Amino acid sequence: MATVYVYARRHGMGMHERATLRELATAGTSAFLALLTPVIIVGGIVGGFFTPTEASVVAAIYALALGLLVYRTLDLKEVGRIFYDTGRFAAIALFCIGTASAFGFILAYFKVPAALVAVVHAMDLGVTEMGLAVAIAFLVIGCFIDAIPAIVILGTVLFPVAQSVGMHPIHFAIIGIVSLAFGLVTPPYGLCLLIACAIGQISIRHAMRDVVILLLPMLGILTLIVFFPSISLWLPRLLMPQFVN
């Protein structure tokens, strides 16, 4: 966010007038119930009322109730269309997961993870070196396939290897997620980049000049996460110390 702000100011990009306190208060009041959604999700998980999967259901029902009964931005016809679109997108995601799971099963059947564990032990890699290897692997594969199949395929192979060197599962997951974020804005498969260029009606080549500026601080953040595991672990340890050692 700081990079975007400085870059926009330096290049004279479009700026909006600063909102007044009255406007902020009005917007905050109207959006208060909607802003409770993340509070309900995090509070419910931390408080032990429901699991993360159940939290998604609770959040969806809460958002649906707000749209129908409070803000009245939805009607029953619109809800039907939303369910249809959700089912269609979920089917695509599940198809990707199923295909990737089959590939992961083949890798496990031929004991590829076990072979990699043996190689890592022979090379005597530590947590930092393994973190760099995980980041590079996710960075490369994230440029060519979607994030969900990448997680299923690489996660199946690399997670046992990471555990063998003592890497915390949460640290491993954060490295993978942050690394895959690069693939969303880099060619050839950068889905977010393609959508943004289509909306803004500009070429990918023109957009990449600005995107590269954003990739530099992202790369710095990824490096810090790899070298300092506490960055990834301090919040889970604070919220759920009984589950995160």
Q: Using alpha carbons only, what angle is made at residue 104 by residues 100 and 108, rounded to the nearest 5 degrees? A: 170
Q: To 10 degrees, the CA torsion angle through 129, 226, 162, 240?
A: 150
CB 149 within 8 A of CB 175: no
CB 113 within 8 A of CB 157: yes
Find the DSSP H helices in the chain.
2-10, 21-30, 32-46, 52-65, 76-109, 112-123, 127-142, 147-164, 169-183, 191-200, 204-227, 230-239
pTM of the entire predicted model? 0.75
Q: Which residues, at least 6 apart from 219, have a Cβ–Cβ distance to it below 8 Å? A: 182
The Cα 230–Cα 171 span in angstroms is: 8
pLDDT of 225? 95
Give SS3 for 117: helix
How do the pLDDT tens digits run along the chain, 245 residues long? Answer: 788 778 777 877 766 777 788 888 888 888 899 999 999 998 898 888 888 889 999 999 999 999 989 888 888 888 888 889 888 888 877 887 787 778 778 877 888 777 877 877 788 888 999 999 999 989 888 888 778 888 888 888 888 888 888 999 999 999 999 999 888 888 777 778 887 888 778 888 888 877 888 888 889 999 999 999 999 999 888 877 777 77
Question: DSSP per residue over 191-213, as a string?
Answer: HHHHHHHHHHT--HHHHHHHHHH
pLDDT of 54? 92
The Cα 173–Cα 162 span in angstroms is: 10
pLDDT of 220? 92
pLDDT of 223? 95
pLDDT of 14? 62
